[in-house]
Amino acid sequence: MKRFSRSGARTQCVLRISPFLLLSGLAMEVSVSAQTVMTPGNLVVSRSVYAGTASSVTVGQVLPPGCVPNTANKVTCSNAVVNGVYPYVFNNISADAAFGITSPLYLDQLTPGGVLVGTLPVPNNTTGSGDGLVTSFSSKSEGALHLSTDGQTLSFMDYVAPVNAIDVSNSNTPAAIDPTNPVPGAYFRAAATVNAQGQFTFTETNAYSGNNGRAAIYVNTNGNNFFYSVGNAGNGGTPEPQQVVAGAGLQLIPALKQSEASQMVPLPMPVGSFNVTQLGDAADKVGKDDNFRGMTLYNNVLYVTKGSGGNGVNTVYFVDTTGTACPATGVGLPVAGAPLPTTNLAPSYTAATGLANNMCILAGFPTVSNKVSSPVAYPFGLFFANATTLYVADEGDGVNTYNAASNTYPNASAATATGGLQKWLFNAATQTWQLAYTLKAGLNLGTPYTVPGYPTGLNNGVGGSGLPFAPATDGLRNIIGTVAGNRVQGYNVVIWATSSTVSGSGDQGADPNKIYVITDRLSNTSAAFGVQETFTDLRNANSGEVLRGISFTPGTPVTSY
């Protein structure tokens, strides 16, 4: 077995563990101190619980809170149509496209077989003072979990705001105010870490004004002390202010040691940017090409995904710090030995083109702009099983057209649906990545399921969709994986994933979702093998809950085979 050092070059967990032990929940024997909250070899899932009550929203109140109509800035306001009772509260999105309510975040420790070991609450800024953060209950793309480059802490991103605050997920950040944003509030976003002993740190940022930070990786090896983060920015009109564009996409956030109240929060520091003009397409909305969602570090290369929005390309990208990987076409492969990105691109900003471009589409992945045609994929989480095998979670298109006769959401369940786990293999002859197959069996895509305590009828109330509340799996979002086995018996790849949903609820991001697990033979190369492999439903969110990120616990051993 070949071991590699923790050098900041690779943060994905590739473990050699017996598949039997993995699924029985007895991953490995480890020495654990009495103070350890999270045991190496287990899983951690980020979960949020709706904390609102009927009084959290008052029918008729102005939405977004504090909104003032402004014709010059194209700001319009609305009024709440339902109160704060879950899940009907999310019918307010029919009046306020930015509608959401902040909620507390919890870190659930599970065995690899899905047995709950314990729950660690994330401190929150409930009273407006003290360190902590909250999530936005209906913001489906938040809450990703990643191990740090030394493997000893988990990191994630969310908001510095009180619980039950409205529309925080589309608020400005304090140093990047957009006067055309109808949400007038301003809240810092923050990157957090937690170690195996349950000790948290929080670092505030002005990035992601008007939208949300989605994932963060803490880089704390080779003398580094910063986060890479991905997200989206902007909730106003065109042109977007410079600091909003600079606060989108891929960021570097210097880790701060002070309490949140004492932190001098810097302006955004973008370190990666892509523009569709690199592909020869006409420019679209500056900043929205960098609407990134998933990320990973592998072999000293930073990869990200884009899977939503009307601008840019839904695909897999990497950061090119050499300027040579894709100089002519916007498509290429990482350059061996290239350093990780640390250059702040903010000074390169121009109103016409946005930031300097230093990212490429990974060769073989989609290159068609969402402005040109409908997306062919909706990528989210990434996992490299090795240098030539990449798994990509696809969350599906989110279209909730419902067929009462078949009791299905056809867009999710059709043969042409994209949702599931894609397996990509690198073709050395063509120097491109190629899609081998998409794993879907066992996800029951497009078929509604029942959640105890959750409405089963039609959402026919005020602001409702008229469709069933019951959610159906549409695809997958965040994933974590491991390679198990040996050279004699062969290797299996075990992938755990959180699901996306479609439903008739007011906001599908508020649906109770699931965790799935699947085992794929690493050597499989064709769909004929892939169809034999089936997802297992490992854990289900309760009514009033959502499951977001998934990772291994801090201290989980990392090896390659």
Tens of each residue's pLDDT in the chain, 561 residues = 332 233 334 444 444 443 333 443 333 333 444 456 999 999 999 999 999 999 999 999 999 999 999 888 888 999 999 999 999 999 999 999 999 999 999 999 999 999 999 999 999 976 555 789 999 999 989 999 999 999 999 999 999 999 999 999 999 999 999 999 999 999 999 999 999 999 999 999 999 999 999 999 999 999 999 999 999 999 998 888 999 999 999 999 999 989 999 999 999 999 999 999 999 999 888 889 999 999 999 999 999 999 998 899 999 999 999 999 998 899 999 999 999 999 999 999 998 889 999 999 999 999 999 988 889 999 999 999 999 999 999 999 999 999 999 999 999 999 889 999 999 999 999 999 999 999 999 999 999 999 999 999 999 999 999 999 999 999 999 999 999 888 888 899 999 999 999 999 999 999 999 999 999 999 999 877 756 799 999 999 999 999 999 999 999 976 533
Tell me if 37 is assigned to some domain: no
Tell me if 135 is assigned to some domain: yes
CA distance 22 to 536: 13
Tell me if 92 is assigned to some domain: yes
Tell me if 36 is assigned to some domain: no
For the chain, report the end-to-end CA distance as a whole number of angstroms: 5
Tell me if 11 is assigned to some domain: no
Q: Write phi, then psi, for 295 (nearest 5 degrees).
A: -155, 160
Domain that residue 75 falls in: 19-26+48-552
- Residue identified by tokens 């289900």 is 540
Domain count, the chain: 1
CA 35 to chain centre: 30
190 in Cβ contact with 89 (< 8 Å): no
CA distance 392 to 242: 32
Tell me if 6 is assigned to some domain: no
CA distance 242 to 249: 13
Tell me if 256 is assigned to some domain: yes
482 in Cβ contact with 493 (< 8 Å): yes
Tell me if 41 is assigned to some domain: no
